[in-house]
């Protein structure tokens, strides 16, 4: 029998406390315990990037972390991108430039792009490709994703110039 361990996490601005089996991955915790099923699980080996979430603003593979390792941390999942039903500019850009087909990989891409554009608001194509190197998509061929990231960057820069601080 495994002893349950208490964890306390803030996810998308909401504080959660739960008792978990110490072997529970962060991905399984988010999906199973908090019902945040936007974080997808593909390979469960740290290869595909579908499970990418932001931990204290930095992208991590939620399949490679235990929930107990994230105790006390602040997380952002794909559900945290939209704002009162309005899509985040990164999500809008992926829709407009057809950066997704089946959408299975998309949450991981969106979170990785969120991190990239916060650090590099005007990335070169090389920087975009480099940042996305850890994300696997089986459908799009990546060109549409590249265009989506360029458009997302432009949208975010335009919002920033206009003084909008709604999306970060």
> For residues 50 and 78, which CB has a smaller minimum distance to ligand FES in the complex?
50
Could you tell me the smallest distance in angstroms from the CB atom of residue 95 to ligand FES? 12
Could you tell me the smallest distance in angstroms from the CB atom of residue 96 to ligand FES? 15
Q: Given CA atoms 48, 87, 154, 53 in this order, what sign does their dihedral have?
A: negative
> For residues 142 and 167, which CB has a smaller minimum distance to ligand FES in the complex?
142
Could you tell me the smallest distance in angstroms from the CB atom of residue 160 to ligand FES? 28
3-state secondary structure of 32: helix
Q: Tokens in use for 50?
A: 């579908």
Q: Tokens in use for 52?
A: 């990418």
* Residue numbers at the binding site for ligand FES (CB under 6 A): 41-44, 46-51, 61, 63, 100-105, 137-140
Distance CA 161, CA 81 (A): 20
């Amino acid at each position: 029998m495994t002893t349950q361990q208490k964890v306390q996490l803030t996810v998308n601005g909401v504080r959660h406390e739960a008792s978990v089996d110490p072997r529970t991955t962060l991905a399984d915790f988010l999906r199973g315990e908090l019902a945040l099923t936007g974080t997808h699980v593909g390979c469960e080996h740290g290869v595909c990037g579908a499970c990418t979430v932001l931990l204290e603003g930095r992208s991590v593979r939620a399949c490679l972390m235990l929930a107990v390792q994230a105790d006390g941390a602040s997380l952002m999942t794909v559900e945290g991108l939209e704002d009162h039903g309005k899509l985040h500019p990164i999500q809008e850009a992926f829709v407009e430039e057809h950066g997704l087909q089946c959408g299975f990989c998309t949450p991981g891409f969106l979170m990785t792009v969120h991190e990239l554009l916060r650090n590099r608001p005007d990335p070169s194509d090389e920087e975009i490709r480099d940042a996305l190197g850890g994300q696997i998509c089986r459908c799009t061929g990546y060109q549409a994703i590249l265009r989506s990231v360029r458009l997302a960057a432009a949208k975010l820069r335009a919002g920033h110039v206009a003084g909008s601080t709604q999306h970060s």
